């Protein structure tokens, strides 16, 4: 009640102040730019929601639901991709591995021709993506494996299937979702940066970093763009 702090003394007032600060924090979450009003459909309830949608792409609820899942899966692929581009280069430079640069990996000879591998991957990814799309449209509809009947997933939130897809048993809490999205967004930017970096310098990210650290005043983006 409004009179509760009178009976609770100072501790009651402290508790009331903490509660007020929490409420303000929740209300302010949806603002990516101070003073800018967030769209009504981005109310801060989604993980990673800072009210950023200047083109109003997610105004339709169905589009918003799709974009949430699209960002999640692309962020995960980007994290895997960035690790796959960077770690082999680091280990090769350290003499612990003998792997091609990421931009030369497609030139390698594998157990099958590149065209055969492309067709196989296309079919497999088509199946997986169709199943993922079905789960978005009708959550829980693909929990049962259609081929191996003894395998099934427990009830789960869309995008967080758990079970064999979560071997470390991370709980899909809001905090963990926020961390995953933040790292996924960073990885997507890093992936784009690696592409641009190679297009400009013809080298991998780790080699570029080594050159910059060896002479930080002369090996920068300014000298690279100017051709010096």
Q: Which domains does the chain have, with CATH numbers?
A: 57-226 (1.10.3460.10)
Give the annotated binding-site residues for all-trans-violaxanthin: 53, 55, 102
Q: What is the pLDDT of residues 169-226, one digit of tens each?
A: 888 899 999 999 999 999 999 999 999 999 999 999 999 999 999 988 888 888 777 7
Give the annotated binding-site residues for chlorophyll b: 76-77, 131, 153, 185
> Mean of the pLDDT values across residues 110-133?
92
The residue with greater pLDDT, 99 or 154, is 99
> Mean of the pLDDT values across residues 51-68?
92
Give the annotated binding-site residues: 50, 52-53, 55, 71, 74, 76-77, 102, 129, 131-132, 153, 179-180, 183, 185, 197, 212, 220-221
Please report the pLDDT score of residue 22 as a whole number: 43
Residue 6 confidence (pLDDT) above 60: no
Report the distance separating Cα 69 and Cα 67, nearest Å. Answer: 5
pTM, two decimals, is 0.78
Please report the pLDDT score of residue 228 as a whole number: 59
Please report the pLDDT score of residue 145 as a whole number: 82
> Mean of the pLDDT values across residues 152-159?
86
């Amino acid at each position: 009640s409004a009179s509760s702090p009178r009976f609770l003394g100072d501790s009651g007032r402290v508790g009331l102040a903490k509660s007020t600060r929490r409420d303000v924090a929740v209300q302010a979450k949806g603002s990516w730019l101070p003073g800018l009003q967030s769209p009504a459909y981005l109310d801060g309830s989604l993980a990673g929601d800072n009210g950023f949608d200047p083109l109003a792409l997610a105004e339709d609820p169905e589009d918003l639901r799709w974009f949430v899942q699209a960002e999640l899966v692309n962020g995960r692929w980007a994290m895997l991709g960035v690790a796959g581009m960077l770690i082999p280069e680091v280990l090769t430079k350290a003499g612990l591995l003998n792997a091609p640069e990421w931009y030369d990996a497609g030139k390698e000879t594998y157990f099958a021709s590149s065209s055969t591998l492309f067709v196989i991957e296309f079919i497999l990814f088509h199946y997986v993506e169709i199943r993922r799309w079905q789960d978005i449209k009708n959550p829980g509809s693909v929990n049962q494996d259609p081929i191996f009947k003894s395998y099934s997933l427990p009830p789960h939130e869309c995008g967080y299937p758990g079970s064999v897809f979560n071997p470390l048993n991370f709980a899909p809490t809001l905090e963990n979702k926020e961390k995953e999205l933040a790292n996924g967004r960073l990885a997507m930017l890093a992936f784009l940066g690696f592409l641009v970096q190679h297009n400009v310098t013809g080298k991998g990210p780790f080699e570029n970093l080594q050159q910059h650290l060896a002479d930080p005043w002369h090996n920068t983006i300014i000298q690279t763009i100017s051709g010096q």
